[in-house]
Structure 1
């Protein structure tokens, strides 16, 4: 903190009979909604003389208000962590669920679970009291984890959208090999790491002396040019662009093109008859599910991003007594995005719904399932091209639906094998591929 900032704080304390929030001396700690502005309005000189009769931490809420916040935050953390862990289990423990899209959903679930475990669980107690209890090391970890995991989630959204685009707009092109899929996931986390590294470097803590001789610790970013200066604002703008506006534009354009292909024409470039409708219907379901997930993300994070934009241009708003509660509500809404995805999977996908029902089969209201339904044998939708049918179908693909899998395809290994090796042969030979999730 600069000498000017310290002087302003001391002047405020001298001119007021009780503590009021200052105008963000310690900076707007914007780590993709990591934590609110530490309203620092206390004398930071350890040797200053105080009569110890003043007010303590003015941001500590009444017990009943804290109880309400604890209920909503704990419920959100439990649902988000448990739900995303179940999603990971459903995909990795069942061979037929290991599709390209589902591997990306696992990556998304891991990122969302990490948000709840390492970020939300500690931050909401800090937001309630504006007092960091966990030390400098955890301050760095939490400040780093927030943009790290959120960036990974957003980049995974874009990877899924591009995968759906390629699968639907260009269905006859070879699909990504398994090595490329895992390399893509590695690149997602590497890019997220690069975005979050500044937080790990500049996150720190500072202890303030209260008027009642108590202390209060804040966790914030201290940039080379100071707190809440040009570097901080520039970093916040970069996060806003990389983690919200640019991804939403890419996702909107991609899914608009995919939607036009699925709903705007009879088929995807082929006139294959009524049976092909099952495959198109399956693809529409997964696209609908992803559009819902992206829409929820946009709605959950919009108030928080808007808050930071407004507060940056009108910092005096932080003097209002309702700001702490407003920020807590916005923070809960943004962090709750991590708990909605498993609920959407369960609602819109039969396979995930079966997996969740099996996990919660012990509940009285749940139907008894003596056997894991996802372990049952099944056959994926197959599509075959037969040149011998050219006189009837004009060279179109004819589809044989062996068994509808409701949004799910064959395991990734089998799908990749069929799709990579499948090529159009000479007359009399058949080209085959496996329909994908």
Structure 2
């Protein structure tokens, strides 16, 4: 509900003008003017903030989808779930954020009743799909780390789990589609305001018992239980990866395997933690406001809610940033997009090779080799042609180990 909606719904001297089109009701309210209109400069500030959110969230998640689907070596089970997460985040940024922001900024819904139903449905569908996907990833990682001898989830099972996620999300979001309506009010000064909100069978919003039950169920099913499950899984995995010690001396292959799993778990813990922080104020708001409905009459509630809503929606733009920061394969993919370059090479994003001498170990990357080749061609190479040939020959005999998710 838009801040201040209850004010009009409870307007004591509101008179029905008997002008109803479909489910859209037009009424006259005795209020003098719409108090939820901010000064222009504050509207500009909020608009810029939300524009940046939509651009980063949409662009970042589309790049994530491309990185995984366009490169065969990136098509792992975990990465397929990350694509599902990116799809839900794109749905949120493209179909929800912009339209709701306009509504919350002006306290007026100009997009018609059909899209009122759609945006209310998508708002729950997308976040539910996101959190259920995070749970699926944690279960998959838990199985791989805690029960390494058991077969991993196949691609067909991954597809089935993804379908189940979206079906369950659609079921939870269905009341938003079925019960959403638009109501139009006319102020004494002739200003028109349209609301987009849910009408419950047992009463108006803020007074409905069914609404309170639904909001409580959404909190439990899309926030409390998923975070409890993921916290349990990642706690057990962390104890296994950082707290246990192998019997005897670990081989380099075993060490690299453990380190790779640690990197993935750390990244997923960051994803879940940021999700929890971003969505907590939003969840609390809809649990508390029905108990203190008088707060919706205060003009400041509009900007408070815009801040809370931005924080919740900003979760959709953080995930690509986290992938770039914590995973070299995704980092290389993003860099390739930014440079409009080719595909991700097989193996590591920046495959690292080691050239051993009697005195030291030198870390050499493929970018070093390319740089040496280019400079040698120009006659300014720091290494001689013989050294470069030996280095390239040594590198070609080794396989870079992947740390993909």
TM surpasses 0.5: yes
Could you tell me whether the CA contact under 8 Å between 2:57 and 2:93 is conserved in 1?
yes
The counterpart of 1:92, out of the listed 69, 87, 90, is 69
Residue aligned with 1:266, SS: coil
Q: In the alignment, is residue 45 of structure 1 matched against residue 15 of structure 2?
A: yes
In the alignment, the residues of structure 2 paired with residue 378 and residue 406 of structure 1 have an alpha-carbon distance, to the nearest angstrom, of 5
User: Does residue 384 of structure 2 align to residue 407 of structure 1?
Assistant: no
Structure 1 residues 256, 36: CA separation in 2 closer, same or farther (over 3 Å shift)? farther
Query: Helix, strand or coil: the match of 2:7?
Result: coil
TM-score, normalised with respect to structure 1: 0.75
Q: Map of 1:106-185 to 2, 5 A cutoff?
A: 106-185=83-162
2:169 maps to 1:192? yes
Instruction: Summarize deviations over 1:366-424 as a string: whole Å, max 9, x none.
Output: xxxx543x1x233999xxxxxxxxxxxxxxxxxxx96344422xxxxxxxxxxxxxxxx
Distance verdict in 2 for CA 1:405–1:109, change over 3 Å: farther
Of residues 279, 288, 298, the one that matches 2:276 is 298
Shift of 1:273: 2.8
Q: Is the 8 A contact 2:116 2:181 kept in 1?
A: yes
Residue in 1 aligned with 2:311?
333
Contact 2:216 2:287 (8 Å CA) reproduced = no
Distance 1:189 1:270 in 2: 46
**CA offsets 1:322-371 (integer angstroms, 9 cap, x no match):** 11111110000000000000000001000100011011116xxxxxxx54
**Alpha-carbon distance in structure 2 between the residues aligned to 1:63 and 1:242:** 39
Change (3 A) 1:51 1:142: closer
Q: Deviations over 1:54-102 (max 9, x none)?
A: 7432212111011000000010001001110000000000000000000
What is the count of residue pairs matched by the alignment? 346
SS at 1:314 equivalent: helix
- The 2-side partners of 1:331 and 1:284 are apart by 33
TM-score between both structures, scaled by the size of structure 2: 0.81
Alignment of 1:390-429 (within 5 A): 403-408=399-404
User: Residue 204 of structure 1: SS of its match in structure 2?
Assistant: strand
**Correspondence for 1:315 among 260, 271, 293:** 293
- What is the CA distance between 1:271 and its match in structure 2? 6.2
Instruction: State the distance in 2 between where 1:185 and 1:270 align.
Output: 41
Q: Which runs of 5+ in 1 are unaligned?
A: 1-28, 30-34, 363-369, 382-400, 409-436
C-alpha distance in 2 between matches for 1:270 and 1:167: 22
Unmatched 5+ stretches in structure 2: 19-26, 352-396
Cα deviations across residues 221-266 of structure 1 (Å, max 9, x unaligned)?
Answer: 0011122201111100000001111111001000000111110112
Alignment correspondent of 1:246: 225
